Each structure stands twice: as structure tokens, then as C-alpha cells.
Amino acid sequence: MTSTTFGSALLHMATGELPLILSLIFGGCCSHLVTFGQFVFVAVEGLRHQLTWTRYGPRLKPTVVPLSRWLFLVVLFFLVSVLNNLALGYHISVPLHIIFRSGGLIINMAMGALILKKRYSFEQIAGVLFVTIGVIWSTIDNSTPKNEETTGSTSEFLTGIALLVIAMVLSAGMGLYQEVTYKKYGKQWREGLFYTHFLALPFFLLFYNDLIKQASVYSRSTATPLPHIIRQVPGFGSVLESLPLPPNIQTALASYRIPKLWGYLLLNVLTQYVCIAGVNRMTAVATSLTLNLVLNLRKFTSLLISIVVFDNEFGIGAKIGTALVIFGTLIYTHAGMKGSSRTTPSPDEKDKDK
């Protein structure tokens, strides 16, 4: 199937829900300051790889991948991000949010088979099922429904579920489309990282008023020394203490105060950049399904860290879920190793080719 046909098929799947999507985006109210900060940082940092100097000054390098492809991915990515954020405003609990997003593995596999005509081995299917069930089971066990806000009508709750379903389908389609793009044009992950964030910046104008309000709230937060802000993040304090900083620099840092929320935003942007860069690099070398599996493992690891750091109860359900995730990952990895060995020519075959 050609990439054009794939794009048409994906658009056809989204067309029926497009009016709902647009009405929710333009009519909803959600904060995007953190996301905007991440996008700006990634775009500015990526300029050093995409700029070329000419006699007339700096210019962007010609793209290997057509800009139309990056723009299509930007639109999908922006819709997915907005829909996931909006869903939280319709009485969707965070555990349920994680559960739905974990289901993306199954959706990705189904869409890969239907649209790209992919064929998956029994081990791959079993591995995906075990990982998905394990993440869901652990999340349910670690959730506390009694502490969740339960007010709101059934229609609002169903709207939130619909948003998550649409976002899940679009996210799976986005991953497959990106996989097709890299197969056709090569591993242009740096180009993709830059343009998928740079081209998305104008979309934030839709939320200009919200960004201004949130920036005002951030600026009014308590002015706090930067080292103190860093120590509030689990694990960061020990890293800061281990750095061999001269006493004069330590004194300067301790005397420098910034609004606390802006400090948290800065830490979030830096840590998210490491994650986003890794995901984009992996996108260029792995299939969309494998990438989804890794992202699910990341969510699961975050869940385990939250259990340990915040001293939450690690019940029998979480233990069973952990075992299922590990078992499913091993099965899926073994299936991938078998597939690689089948596609790698033996020394005898190489000699015959010569």
C-alpha cells in the first residue's frame, strides 16, 4: 500500500469524528503552557541541526522528507495531545486515562494489519496482550476510586471516553504513518523532531488567552531558590548534591530566585526533551508497534516509580500485573529476535551471493 493510500485511509477513518474533534478543540478550555514550553524548547534546540549558513545569512536546510508529510503528522499529533488533555476535563480519572492509552498497543496492531497488511506472529500477539493486560491490571490495583471526583453526568463521562477512543485511533495511525515515512525517506529523526515541533507552534495561537492566563499564574507563584526547586523533584536533589560545583557557584545559585512554577516548568521541559529525543530516534529504527510497546513500558515504569517514591501500596494486583508485563515483554522480544535471525543471511548465503 502506498503512503498516499495510507494517508487517505487514515483521513477517512477520522472524517466521521472530525466535526466533534474541532468543536471540542475550539470550544473546550484547557491549559497548554507546559506543552507549549516543551515545543518551543525542542524547536529552538533543533535549529542548530537544521540551519545552514549562506552569504545572505542563516537559512533552513532543504528537507529530505516533504514538508506536507511533517505537517500531516503535526496535525495528528496536535489533535491527539489536545484530545487527551480535554478528556481529563470530562470526569475521566487518571488511572482510566492511563488504561485507555495503554490500549493503543492493540489498536496499533489492528490498524497495522488492516491498513498496511502487516502479519504478526503468535508470539508478538501474545506479548502485546500480556503487556496490555499487565499495565491495566497494575493501574486498576493502584487506583483509588474513592478519592476520585465522581460528580458529573453520564453524558460528560461518555464524551470523555469518546475523546480517548478517538485519540487512541489517531495516535496509532500517526505512528504507522511515521513508520511508512521513515521507510521511504530514511532515518530522518532529527528532521522529524524539529519540524513536528516547529510547525506545531502556530497551533498554540488557538489557546493564546489560556497561555497568557497560565503564564500570569506561574509568574505570581512564590519566588524560590533554584536549588530548592530542584530538590523538590525525587532523585534530582541527590544529583545536585553530587555535582562538583565551586562554592561561589553554589552561593550564586542559592541566591537566585525564580517563581516556583516557572522552575518546575523548566525542569519538565529539560526532562521531556530527553524523552522526546529518544522516542524520535527510536521511531526511525523500530516499527510503530515496538515503539508503542516501549512507551507502554515507560508508563508502567512511571507507575512503579510512583508506588515506590510516594509509598503507595503495592498490592497483589500490581504484582501480578508486573509479572505479566515482564512476561509479555520477554515473549515479544524473543519474537523480534527470531524475526531478525530469519531476515539476516547466513555466512554461506553471503558467500553464494558473491
Which pLDDT does position 198 carry in this prediction? 92
3-class secondary structure, 259: strand
Total number of domains in the chain? 1
- Look at residue 226 and give its three-state secondary structure: helix
Q: What is the pLDDT along the chain (354 residues), one digit of tens a residue?
A: 554 554 554 454 444 433 433 333 333 333 578 888 888 998 998 898 898 888 888 889 999 999 999 999 998 888 887 788 788 778 776 666 766 766 777 788 888 888 888 888 888 888 888 877 877 777 676 555 444 444 557 788 788 888 888 888 888 888 888 888 988 998 888 898 899 889 989 988 888 898 999 999 999 988 888 777 777 666 566 666 666 667 777 677 777 888 888 988 888 888 778 777 777 677 666 676 776 677 666 666 766 666 666 666 667 777 787 777 777 777 777 776 665 544 444 444 444 444
pLDDT at position 68 is 92
Q: What is the pTM of this model?
A: 0.66
Give residue 219's pLDDT.
92
Residue 315 lies in a domain: yes
Give me the domain span that covers residue 39. 3-144+152-340
**335 part of a folded domain:** yes
Answer whether residue 353 is part of any domain.
no
Q: What is the pLDDT of residues 307-349, one digit of tens each?
A: 666 666 667 777 787 777 777 777 777 776 665 544 444 444 4
Beta strand pairing status for 257-259 and 223-225? antiparallel
**Residue 38 domain-assigned (yes or no):** yes
Nearest to 75 by CA among 210, 207, 209, 195: 195
Please count the other Cβ atoms lying within 10 Å of the Cβ belonging to residue 235: 9
Instruction: Please indicate, yes or no, if residue 166 is contained in any of the structural domains.
Output: yes
Where do the DSSP E strands lie in the chain?
Answer: 51-54, 57-60, 223-225, 257-259
In a domain, 62, yes or no: yes
Give domain status of residue 10, yes or no.
yes
Tell how strand 51-54 and strand 223-225 pair up.
Answer: unpaired
Confidence (pLDDT) at 27: 33
Query: How far is it, in rounded angstroms, from Cα 60 to Cα 140?
Result: 48
Residue 28 lies in a domain: yes
Instruction: Report the 10 Å Cβ neighbour count for 12.
Output: 9
